[in-house]
Amino acid sequence: MSEVAPWARSVFAITLFVEDLDECKRFYREVFGLPLDGGDEVSVAFKVGELLINLLQVTEAPELIDPAPVGGAEAGRRFQLTVPVDDVDTLYAELSGRGVKFLNGPMDRPWGIRTAAFADPAGHVWEIAK
């Protein structure tokens, strides 16, 4: 097995393309309780530990990934971001009380963890897990 390339040892930022920047900004502030870490009229950034989550208005995405096409929200989900929590059921109840609509859970997975999943307004899936 080869050693991990020095440049591939951590992820600094993820950029999520969103259709409604204001709605997503509100969601991340209210649901995650994240303070703003910067932004402009087409993007907003939040910090989760050392990771920067950048929400980018989807109309600006082609500039970043051209010539690859930008997929729409209707294309289906292709990834999930997982956050470790102390108690899935308690957080599930808290977030449900704040209006978060869960896709599933809480449930015990065959591989030994308890999870529940929800999506942000742009359709990006987040999982809480213990």
In a domain, 70, yes or no: no
* Residue 87, domain member (yes or no): yes
Indicate whether 57 and 84 sit together in one domain.
Answer: no
Q: Is residue 72 part of a domain?
A: no
Place of tokens 């963890």: 113
Residue 5 domain-assigned (yes or no): yes
How far apart CA 13 and CA 26 sit, in angstroms, is 20
pTM of the model: 0.87
For residue 105, what are the domain limits? 79-130
CATH code at position 37: 3.10.180.10
> Can you tell me the distance from the alpha carbon of 130 to that of 87, in angstroms, rounded to the nearest whole number?
7
Q: Outline where the chain has alpha helix (H).
A: 21-31, 61-65, 88-97
Binned at pLDDT 50, 70 and 90, residue 1 comes out as: low
Which pair of tokens denotes residue 108? 């015990």
Contact assessment for residue 61 and residue 42, using Cβ atoms and an 8 Å cutoff: no
- How far apart are alpha carbons 122 and 125 in whole angstroms? 9
CA 128 to CA 71: how far, in whole Å?
25
Number of structural domains (the chain) is 2
Within a domain: 35? yes
* Mean pLDDT, range 14-42, rounded to an integer: 95
Closest of 114, 117, 112, 46 to residue 77, by C-alpha:
117
Provide the percentage of residues in the chain whose pLDDT is more than 70: 99
Predicted confidence at residue 38, as pLDDT, reads 94
pLDDT-derived band at 79 (thresholds 50, 70, 90) equals confident
Give the pLDDT score at 30: 93
Judge if 6 and 44 occupy the same domain. Answer: yes
Same domain, 128 and 87: yes
Residues 10, 48: one domain?
A: yes
DSSP 49: T
Q: Is residue 74 part of a domain?
A: no
Tell which of 61, 88, 105 closes a domain. 61
Place of tokens 């009380």: 97
Q: Determine, yes or no, domain membership for 89.
A: yes
Q: Rounded mean pLDDT of the chain?
A: 92
The reply to whether 37 falls in a domain is yes
The per-residue pLDDT for range 99-121, each reduced to its tens digit, is: 999 999 999 999 999 999 999 99
